A and B are shown apart, each in its own frame.
Chain A
Amino acid sequence: MASRAVIARRIFGRGGLGVAGARAMSTGWWGGVEPAAKDPILGVTEAFLADPSPNKVNVGVGAYRDDDGKPVVLECVREAERRISGNLTMEYLPMGGSIRMIEETLKLAYGENSELIKDKRIAAVQALSGTGACRLFADFQKRFLPDSQIYIPVPTWSNHHNIWRDAHVPQRTFHYYHPESKGLDFAGLMDDVKNAPNGSFFLLHACAHNPTGVDPSEEQWREISYQFKVKNHFAFFDMAYQGFASGDPERDAKAIRIFLEDGHLIGCAQSYAKNMGLYGQRVGCLSVLCEDEMQAVAVKSQLQQIARPMYSNPPVHGALIVSIILNDPDLKNLWLREVKGMADRIIGMRTALRENLESLGSSLSWEHITNQIGMFCYSGLTAEQVDRLTNEFHIYMTRNGRISMAGVTTGNVSYLANAIHEVTKSS
């Protein structure tokens, strides 16, 4: 093999490279590539990890922690993995993913005995967790309804905007969070629903809204569903926290069930990242409810056409875990108990954080901490206050004031309360 110098001479000696080539040789092709901004959520954990302080607290990214602040692998998951290892092959799944996993997943969203499932009206494919499910739907929406747009709540998980943007679907927003009450801006939401053109697409968080933790009540969901009927809107549910919100998966699916009762043909993204603790396995499901079986077959085939040039077929390991757990009554029951355990711990931490703040004599209202539900609390802290928490107290959260309650423990809740009180007591 000739030395690099010799090779370089050979290249230059062959009559030059032309302008483009010469430019390439000096700065390369990517000299003009700008460094991208850090992801606002994932960047928080990076910063946390880099902090040497022994008091540091990570209430940034939404991954569950136990009361010792440690990540958790559910017992049902460990057992499922023991059964998988050594026994099964690693062959390609079909493009649409694991049928067994999908069947059980649809029951969670649509109901154990759903007629819709029996009538095979649901087009469903395994997706790369919630992100992948949303992205498949966004690409599908763009391909088959190129003039449609998506209404996204304010605020929402920041990656929702990236997903529909990369799918080239234009975005609009609708009112959701009410900063004064730190609750739902129901009037604003209903106005936006009514004022949107008929047949608009709406992204709805099925439960445990991210980042606010503010969910409509059952009554409010019924009104929203009714108004959607009047306007013939399309409801796309992102359900990333089923079971995690109240501790009861059936209860957490209530919004979806209301819409189904009212006859809506919905779309739904489901994720097992949080409720089965399968984060890094990337397991989820995208479903689209159709008029009949034939349409469901057609829609599923087209969803597969979108997956094929993206990743060909979805990863098998996480799907096997889900499949084994949900198909085994004992493992499924164990899972339900473990999910409830996680939800209960979080509800307990909400109560503890609020009580701590109140007993510190804070003059502000902290009701919203226990009114809100799910992994996140939208604290109402300003970006400046969040920066103080980070710089002075080594507490890490996203700058919108979102606290991941899963990162709160009996060990750090009073430290956290003290710090929040310190930065807010003058306001």
Chain B
Amino acid sequence: MASTIPDEMLGPVPTSGSNGVSVFADVVQAPEDPILGVTVAFNKDPCPMKVNLGVGAYRTEEGKPLVLNVVRRAEQMLVNDSSRVKEYLPITGLADFNKMSAKLIFGNDSPAIQEKRVTTVQCLSGTGSLRVGAEFLARHYQQRTIYIPQPTWGNHPKVFALSGLFVKTYRYYDPATRGLNFQGLVEDLSSAPSGAVVLLHACAHNPTGVDPTVEQWEQIRQLMRSKALLPFFDSAYQGFASGNLDADAQPVRLFAADGGELLAAQSYAKNMGLYGERVGALSIVCKTADVAAKVESQLKLVIRPMYSSPPIHGASIVATILKDSEMYNEWTIELKAMADRIISMRHQLFEALRERGTPGDWTHIVKQIGMFTFTGLNTEQVAFMTKEYHIYMTSDGRISMAGLSSKTVPLLADAIHAAVTHAN
């Protein structure tokens, strides 16, 4: 595989090594990641009353991270099983995990699965699943443009751009209503070129918390299929949005049921609290079983030079839980409890603002769904809240409801009230 680029074209590169000058001397420091940087700033703040509403990681009423009981049990089972080894997984990951992840999102009785038209590969959480899917599309799909909603998770544009796709946007959020700009969405997807890829948040849109209704999803599906637009679902909150795993998977299942093709990235970071274990899956629903097998073989070629094979621990925990009906049930109960606590925080915050007579319409707080609320606060207001009230959130006004508790809701309400009534 030696290249035959002649030496003169390769050119001398800046020297390295012994004379002490680094070849990377011109590398400038990158800016902090806007989302993860919030936690960095939060950690540096010495004030005891600080509140972190930045990154979307669930917190208990006591403000602590949570490891689900069922996860602890699964982990203990794995540790105690002395027959378990730490060998390499196959490139595509843990087979049981893959099978059950597909069933979780597409449904136990999904015809696509029964007909073996789905290939599922274990990837590193949602990010990794999106990246592997996007790299596959850039290599094998005839249309290299992906449409992403405006706004979307901050990391989406980079994931797709680095994979070699061209990123365009479609209208999604309506600042006036703090809800869905359905007309804008339909117009933009209608004018997309045939065959373009479209990123869809399966539920609990990040950062806005605004989801289409069931009727709107059906219209989106019909529109997309009529233009042969390829759906790429990002499902990071299944079960976390409404508290019900099947309800939250409806949009994906709607598309899978019409016999068409699609991609779906799943993450277990939030709904199983496995954040740092990096557990996720990419599924591609194909026209035939034969095509699905070929697609899987090509996915392996994307994965092998990236990290060879995925990490075993988190996927083993998930597989242990999904395989066991009693543990699965326990999971659904704990998941619903997390979702319910978040819904309760929404209502408490809404009430607190109402009590304070905070100007503005705050009903979006209880209408939006999932972990985040798009408050509608601007960057100046956000900066004010951070500086004066030690409230940490991303500068787009997104707050993680999971980071709130009954104790901190009043603090946040005070801060919002002050920011909104604060004369500039």
Contacts and interface: CB of A to CB of B under 8 A. Distances in A.
Interface in B125-175: 125, 127-128, 131, 140-142, 155, 158-159, 161-162
A31 B291 contact: yes
Contacts of A311: 124-125, 127-128, 131, 278, 307
B421 interface: no
A145 B278 contact: no
B199 to A, nearest CB: 14
Interface string B65-78: 11100011001101
B125 to A, nearest CB: 7
Contact of B29 (A132, A232, A262, A298): A298
B30 A304 contact: yes
Contacts of B301: 36, 162
* Secondary structure of the B contact surface, majority rule: loop
Contact of A20 (B20, B159, B195, B276): B195
A177 to B, nearest CB: 15
A15 interface: yes
A28 B118 CA distance: 13
Given A92-B55, A279-B88, A301-B29, A171 B227 contact: no
A128 interface: yes
B227 A315 contact: no
Interface in B286-325: 286-288, 291, 293-295, 297-298, 300-302, 304-314
A33 B294 contact: yes
Contact of B286 (A10, A30, A91, A263): A30
Interface stretch (A78-86, A325-333, A337-345): A78-86
Interface string A257-298: 000001111000000010001111110000010110001011
A308 B33 contact: yes
For chain B, give the interface size range: 35 or more
Interface in B207-228: 222, 225-228
Interface residues of A, number: 109
Nearest to B56: A92
Contact of B16 (A1, A81, A234): A234
Contacts of B258: 4, 7-8, 11
Interface in A159-194: 159, 161-163, 165-166, 170-173
Nearest to B126: A312
Interface stretch (B7-15, B238-246, B338-346, B411-419): B7-15
The 3 lowest CB-CB distance pairs between A and B, nearest first, are: A28-B287, A280-B312, A316-B276
Interface of B: 1-3, 5, 7, 10-30, 33, 36, 55, 57, 65-67, 71-72, 75-76, 78-79, 82, 84-91, 111, 124-125, 127-128, 131, 140-142, 155, 158-159, 161-162, 194-195, 222, 225-228, 230, 257-261, 269, 273-278, 284, 286-288, 291, 293-295, 297-298, 300-302, 304-314
